[in-house]
Amino acid sequence: MTRQRKAREPCPICAASRTLCLCDAVPRIELKTKIALVIHHRELSRNSNTGLLALRALVNSEMRIRGEGREALDLQELLSPHYRTFLFFPCADAVELDRTLVTQERRPIQLIVPDGTWRQARKILSRHPELKELPRVKISTPNHSTFQLRAQSRPERMATLQAIAHGLGVIEGDQVRAQLMKLYDTKIKRTLIGRGILREKQALGQAGSDVSSKGSN
């Protein structure tokens, strides 16, 4: 068995190598909108996960971990009357998250965001009856990113951090979207460096490389 090398001088917070550490790139964003990330436990240790980065950046956010044990995760307490709560997932009955929808009420919005592979994320619809009556919303913005951390089978599918960035862009404005997309771009660049696809000096200018990565969403 080949032993996996530990990163040299790993970051004490994220345990990544100094080259790949993202701690210096994570903004601190305080919003009225709340993100509730419902993450599959297997995602907690995956380097390609971006939902956890969104949590680190968004002060008014929280996480629920599903799939850890036999006891079902109860998400009922997320359904607070202080928020207009939507399930943020591109299922068949989801409507477009746009300004018309956002301005219908004055209450702040909460987006419940399933995070995992597409197969894992879809199960939230069937395994959490407490969410059955929640309206579903989606973002139909095409994903034009040249490099993907995981392959996407449809043009509207994107990484969790990308989706949250575009969703909050609609709700909170372009500045928030830009901050989160900058974080996502930095994640991409440092991943390319870690995989030996891009040199660090090149990454400072751009991550434009005609490459793709296979994997699940």
Asked whether the beta carbons of 120 and 217 are under 8 A apart, the reply is: no
Number of domains forming the structure of the chain: 1
Asked whether the beta carbons of 216 and 118 are under 8 A apart, the reply is: yes
The whole-model pTM stands at: 0.81
Cα 55 → chain centroid? 8
Beta strands (DSSP E) in the chain are: 34-40, 61-66, 84-88, 95-96, 109-115, 136-138
Query: 11 lies in a domain?
Result: no
Query: 144 lies in a domain?
Result: yes
Which residues does 158 contact at the CB level (< 8 Å), separation at least 6?
Answer: 141, 143, 145, 152, 166
Which amino acid is residue 205, in one-letter code?
A: G
Query: 40 lies in a domain?
Result: yes
- pLDDT score, position 212: 35
- pLDDT score, position 115: 92
In terms of residue numbers, what domain contains 100?
Answer: 29-205
- pLDDT score, position 156: 52
Ranges in the chain, pLDDT < 50: 1-4, 7, 152-153, 155, 201, 203-204, 207-217
Query: 149 lies in a domain?
Result: yes
Query: 156 lies in a domain?
Result: yes
37, two tokens: 């990330």
Q: CA angle at residue 139 from 133 to 143, to 5 degrees?
A: 145
Query: 3 lies in a domain?
Result: no
Query: 12 lies in a domain?
Result: no
Rounded distance between C-alpha atoms, residue 88 and residue 97, angstroms:
9
- pLDDT score, position 202: 53
- pLDDT score, position 168: 98
Asked whether the beta carbons of 70 and 127 are under 8 A apart, the reply is: no
Instruction: Give the Å distances, CA to CA, from 53 to 63, 121, 125, 165.
Output: 12, 18, 24, 11
Query: 214 lies in a domain?
Result: no
